[in-house]
Structure 1
Amino acid sequence: MFFRELPEPLFPYRFFEPFVEAIKTKDQKQRVQAMKKLVQQLPKPNHDTMKLLFRHLQKILTKSLKNLMSTQGIGIVFGPTLLWPELDSGNMAFNLVYQNQIVEFILIECSEIFGPAGK
């Protein structure tokens, strides 16, 4: 609820479209670099909170056999909670898919995007 009730999402509004465009990138290496660049451009409080949150979500995934949370499940839960467009353009279904994919991708590539754990 904390993230959902923020006046602006953890991924600020002005970053919504750039993140959507980045997730659409076909080449895996280019997609990682585009996401990493965007994450580095975030305001420091957003970046630091995001880094901490995604590291925590990775810990949850290590217990997926017990808690039944998969990368996809976390994406479904956190995608629309962490990023949404400022104005609803009527593409809610498309946005939902991209929101989920962005969170899943950052979760999978967390070490590449934020650097090794512990730093």
Structure 2
Amino acid sequence: LFPFAHFDKFIAAIKMQDPTWRSRCVRDLVYSLPPANHDTMRVLFQHLCRVVEFKEENRMSVQSVAIVFGPTLLRPASEEGNMAMHMVFQNQIVEHILNQYSYIF
């Protein structure tokens, strides 16, 4: 869903210290995606936000959803490098999009 070419850009965005700039950068990156990717992402994350709304019943908190979907949705083009660090950032990006859904979309 996240094109390989955008992986490093999303990582750089999530590393930003200022939360306002982080959200703005992630939003801009999402809107820079091809329409099919952007539109699919909007619908998928809308659904995942609904899943999180029922976290008491399904045990799927924002963090849990991010752990499950982060590595699936966002991957580097090659598996070289520190996979553990990639996974941390992948999860943080998905968590951030879930937490900032209304701002990003």
Percent identity between matched residues is: 50
Q: How does 1:15-34 map to 2 (within 5 A)?
A: 15-34=6-25
Gaps of 5+ in 2: none
> Displacement, 1:31?
0.3
**One of 56, 61, 65 as aligned partner of 2:47:** 56
1:76 equivalent to 2:63? Answer no
Whole-Å Cα distance in 2 between the matches of residues 57 and 88 of structure 1? 26
Gaps of 5+ in 1: 1-9, 115-119
3-state SS, counterpart of residue 84 of structure 1 = coil
Whole-Å Cα distance in 2 between the matches of residues 61 and 96 of structure 1? 20
Match of 1:111 in 2: 102
Q: How does 1:6-21 map to 2 (within 5 A)?
A: 10-21=1-12
Q: TM-score, normalised by structure 2?
A: 0.98
Whole-Å Cα distance in 1 between the matches of residues 96 and 32 of structure 2? 17
Whole-Å Cα distance in 1 between the matches of residues 16 and 78 of structure 2? 24
Superposed CA RMSD in Å reads 0.5
Whole-Å Cα distance in 2 between the matches of residues 15 and 89 of structure 1? 16
Q: How many residue pairs get matched?
A: 105
Whole-Å Cα distance in 2 between the matches of residues 111 and 51 of structure 1? 10
> Displacement, 1:93?
0.5
Match of 2:77 in 1: 86
Q: Which moved more, 1:82-91 or 1:97-106?
A: 82-91
Whole-Å Cα distance in 2 between the matches of residues 106 and 63 of structure 1? 18
